Amino acid sequence: MTAPHPAPSAAQFASGLDPRVLARIDNLELVARAVVEGFLNGMHRSVQLGFSTEFAQHRAYVPGDDLRRLDWRVYARTDRYLIREYEAETNTNVVVALDVSKSMSYGSGAGALTKLDAARVVGASLAYLAHRQRDRVGFAAFASDIAEYVPPAAAHFQLVLHALGRAQPRERGELAAPLARLGDALRRRGIIVVLSDCYEAPGVVADAMGGLRTSGHDVVVMHVLDKAELEFPFEDAATFEDLETLERIPLVPARMRERYRASLQEHLSVLEKKLLERGVDYVVVNTSQPIEDTLFSYLVRRERLRRVR
């Protein structure tokens, strides 16, 4: 009799798994754990979602110290060379802000992963990572207004998962008003991860995120897009309908494809530039790609920035 095969670990379960399969699994916590442990597998240490730091103390300069850490203001007042030392903030507030507007219900192809499905998995994975780091986790679903809100707290991880799991597409959405209300509701500065298809002009999106930055929040925009939105692979002439405005436009895709792709790339480039100018992180999430790959590449980049800052 052969010995039974050991059950696969969460990391083995997630590695390379089709995102459509992940999204169809009923247990969102299992999905989140599998995704996070998948991209942490093999790493020597965990990446951190947060990298905020606060001043701890001064100490005397010694030869070999990084000159960039000298406190020149203190030197100007006292003529003494002192080094600023920092310590990482603990228990950061991490809020997942999920766009539940109608356009997020789109998914190309039979049985395809919708943008909302993908955003749910990304949001749950980041919430799991934050909870794993003992940060306070919160949640907000928004369309034209805040549809559901779970304030950040150490004990709210399961509430966040339940809210993510029951989120459904609603009416036509916007970014400015609901995100301003979210900013008003958050009394402590933290990290806000906005999961949205950013269905507005780049300047409008950037201004909405900039308002959160002005309030002192660390803002990450996860721009969720379907593969068909990125590539426009359609062949047959058809009437295309806007899911939010219900406007219908007849098109011959072959005649529009190159123009569409060029316009989209320009749109994404302008959006990224405007967000970066406001100090907002920007990531495109392609719903057809493995989600752990997207999160891994972003968090590694964020970790590098943490070391620089």
**167 and 69 part of one domain:** no
**Which has more confidence, 260 or 166?**
166
Residue 187 clears pLDDT 70, i.e. is over it: yes
**128 and 231 part of one domain:** yes
CATH number of 234's domain = 3.40.50.410
Q: Do 62 and 147 meet the contact criterion of CB atoms below 8 Å apart?
A: no
**77 and 124 part of one domain:** no
Specify the pLDDT at position 150. Answer: 97
**Which has more confidence, 87 or 169?**
169
Give the C-alpha separation, 164 to 158, whole Å.
10
Band (10; pLDDT cuts 50, 70, 90): very low
Q: Is 48 part of a structural domain of the chain?
A: no
Across 164-173, 240-249, 261-270, least confident range: 240-249
**136 and 80 part of one domain:** no
**73 and 180 part of one domain:** no
Specify the pLDDT at position 123. Answer: 95
User: Pairing state of beta strands 53-60 and 82-88?
Assistant: antiparallel
Q: Do 206 and 175 meet the contact criterion of CB atoms below 8 Å apart?
A: no
Q: Report residue 291 as tokens.
A: 């989600």
Specify the pLDDT at position 93. Answer: 92
Strand intervals (E) in 6-145: 53-60, 82-88, 93-99, 136-142
Q: Is 125 part of a structural domain of the chain?
A: yes
Q: Is 293 part of a structural domain of the chain?
A: yes
Q: What percent of the chain has pLDDT over 70?
A: 77
Other CB atoms within 10 Å distance of the CB of residue 15: 19
Residue 156 clears pLDDT 60, i.e. is over it: yes
Cβ neighbours for 153, distance < 8 A, ≥ 6 positions apart: 136, 137, 138
**Which has more confidence, 91 or 97?**
97
Q: What percent of the chain has pLDDT over 90?
A: 41
**64 and 123 part of one domain:** no
Q: Is 190 part of a structural domain of the chain?
A: yes
Q: Is 289 part of a structural domain of the chain?
A: yes
Residue 270 clears pLDDT 80, i.e. is over it: yes
The range of the structural domain enclosing residue 177 comes to 10-43+91-308
Give the C-alpha separation, 209 to 194, whole Å.
9
Q: Is 82 part of a structural domain of the chain?
A: yes
Specify the pLDDT at position 17. Answer: 56
For 275-285, how does the pLDDT look when each residue is reduced to its tens digit (9 = 90+)? 999 999 999 99
Q: Is 67 part of a structural domain of the chain?
A: yes
**201 and 95 part of one domain:** yes
Q: Report residue 108 as tokens.
A: 């190309």
Band (233; pLDDT cuts 50, 70, 90): confident
Burial class (CB in 10 A: 0-12, 13-18, 19+), 168: exposed
Cβ neighbours for 243, distance < 8 A, ≥ 6 positions apart: 102, 103, 105, 106
DSSP-based three-state secondary structure for 143 = coil
For 28-81, how does the pLDDT look when each residue is reduced to its tens digit (9 = 90+)? 888 888 877 776 765 545 566 664 445 556 778 777 776 767 888 888 888 888
**274 and 164 part of one domain:** yes
**34 and 65 part of one domain:** no
Burial class (CB in 10 A: 0-12, 13-18, 19+), 89: middle
Band (260; pLDDT cuts 50, 70, 90): confident
Does the pTM of the predicted model rise above 0.85? no
**108 and 80 part of one domain:** no
Q: Report residue 229 as tokens.
A: 């939105």
For 104-137, how does the pLDDT look when each residue is reduced to its tens digit (9 = 90+)? 998 887 667 899 999 999 999 999 999 988 899 9
- Which of these three, 35, 69, 88, is where a domain ends? 88
Specify the pLDDT at position 89. Answer: 46
Measured at the CA of 200, the angle between CA 205 and CA 249, to 5 degrees, comes to 170
**34 and 157 part of one domain:** yes
Structural element, H or E, at residue 192? strand 190-196
Looking at the structure of the chain, the number of domains it has is 2
Q: Span 237-247, mean pLDDT?
A: 69
**216 and 77 part of one domain:** no
Q: Is 254 part of a structural domain of the chain?
A: yes
Distance of CA 209 to the CA centre of its chain: 13
Specify the pLDDT at position 86. Answer: 54
Helix axes 28-40, 291-308, angle to 10 degrees: 60
For 134-155, how does the pLDDT look when each residue is reduced to its tens digit (9 = 90+)? 899 999 999 999 999 999 999 9
